[in-house]
Amino acid sequence: MVMFFEFALIGTTASGKTALANALALKFDAVILSLDSLCVYKEINIASAKVEKEILEKIAYFGVNLLSVCEHFNVGLFIDEYQKAKTFAKEKEKPLIITGGTSFYLKTMMNGLSAKIEEKPTTLSNDEIYTLCLQIDPEFKVAKNDSYRLKKWLNIYEITKELPSEFLRRTKKEGVLKELEIYELHWDKEELKKNIQKRTKLMLKQGLIEEARGLFTHFDANLKPLNSIGLKETKAYLNDEISLKELEELINTHTAQLAKRQRTFNKKFSSTPLKFSQAFEFLSKKFN
């Protein structure tokens, strides 16, 4: 009988993480924690490449269909989901597979989380916040185009009147994941590009445009999740700003750019590289 153990499966978008995790879970009755910033939303199914309803009914899945697109969440939600998934897997004596494209959440779960600060709107641009950050708090390391961390820095500074670098260090709690085995799926760049193109065609065939139209009809089109890759391009198409051909091309381009950013971020992890074609056989040995 397979006992509880856990590992993470990371990789770029369209690298086959979900398909591989599902195949392993179905064969070995494992539990899956999805770390995907779009799959948490109940109304986004095609644009998020969410697992089919039939699979969700067969596998014990955590981190999926938790919120409406008009509800806000942060990494704390995934920490709670991890605790639930781990408790469930331990009680049932099942393996736990942690996977998803938002590796930032995995990194935070491993490194720890600082005290939460309320988000407030600002009229300052990224450049203005970045300049302010360099002048006041040079120890806070952030990229000039990292909107999330720049706004987080400003919120902390304005609310606490404390240097954000010191505040984050002082309030940081220990991570919930320790000594986690991490495996990263690797693809040849041209092959990954083909995967992205195939997936975009499939999403359009499955009804991406209809899904987007419904979302923009019922929710504020300015909501963050509705400006993710796949939806923001479809919004331009529905507004007659681009053609159907341009829609497909833009989704492919933006997804490839995302994959490049994910590859760079995933270098932060100490992981074991795996070719997708060999990954199922290799990881299956962990269950025996």
Domains and CATH numbers, the chain: 6-112+177-186+269-287 (3.40.50.300), 126-171 (no CATH), 189-264 (1.10.287.890)
Residue 97 has pLDDT above 70, yes or no: yes
Rounded average pLDDT over 68-73: 92
Q: Say yes or no to pLDDT of 264 above 90.
A: yes
Residue-averaged pLDDT of the chain: 94
Asked whether the predicted pLDDT for residue 6 surpasses 90, the reply is yes
The reply to whether 48 sits in an annotated binding site is: no
One-letter amino acid for residue 225 of the chain: P
Is 53 annotated as contributing to ligand binding?
Answer: no
Q: Which residue has the tokens 């939600």?
A: 77
Is 12 annotated as ligand-binding? yes
For residues 122-132, give the mean pLDDT.
Answer: 94
pLDDT digits (tens, 9 = 90+) for 143-177: 888 888 899 999 999 999 999 999 989 998 888 98
How far is the C-alpha of 108 from the C-alpha of 284, rounded, in Å?
27
What is the pLDDT, as a whole number, of residue 173? 83
Residue 101's pLDDT is 87
Look up the pTM and report it.
Answer: 0.87
Does the annotation flag 101 for ligand binding?
no
The answer to whether 132 touches 42, Cβ cutoff 8 Å, is no
What single string gives the DSSP state of each residue in the chain?
-----EEEEE--TTSSHHHHHHHHHHHHT-EEEE--TTTTBTT-STTTTPPPHHHHHHSEEESSS-B-TTS---HHHHHHHHHHHHHHHHHHT--EEEE-S-HHHHHHHHH--PPP---------HHHHHHHHHHH-TTS---TT-HHHHHHHHHHHHHH-S-HHHHHHHHPPPPS--S-EEEEEE--HHHHHHHHHHHHHHHHHHTHHHHHHHHHHHS-TTSGGGGSTTHHHHHHHHTTSS-HHHHHHHHHHHHHHHHHHHHHHHTTS--EEEEHHHHHHHHHGGG-
Render pLDDT for 19-40 as a digit per residue (tens, 0 to 9). 999 999 999 999 999 999 999 9
Q: Judge whether 264 is annotated as a binding position.
A: no
Is 15 assigned a ligand-binding role in the annotation?
A: yes
Position 72 scores a pLDDT of: 85
272 is in an annotated binding site: no
* pLDDT-derived band at 287, boundaries 50, 70, 90: confident
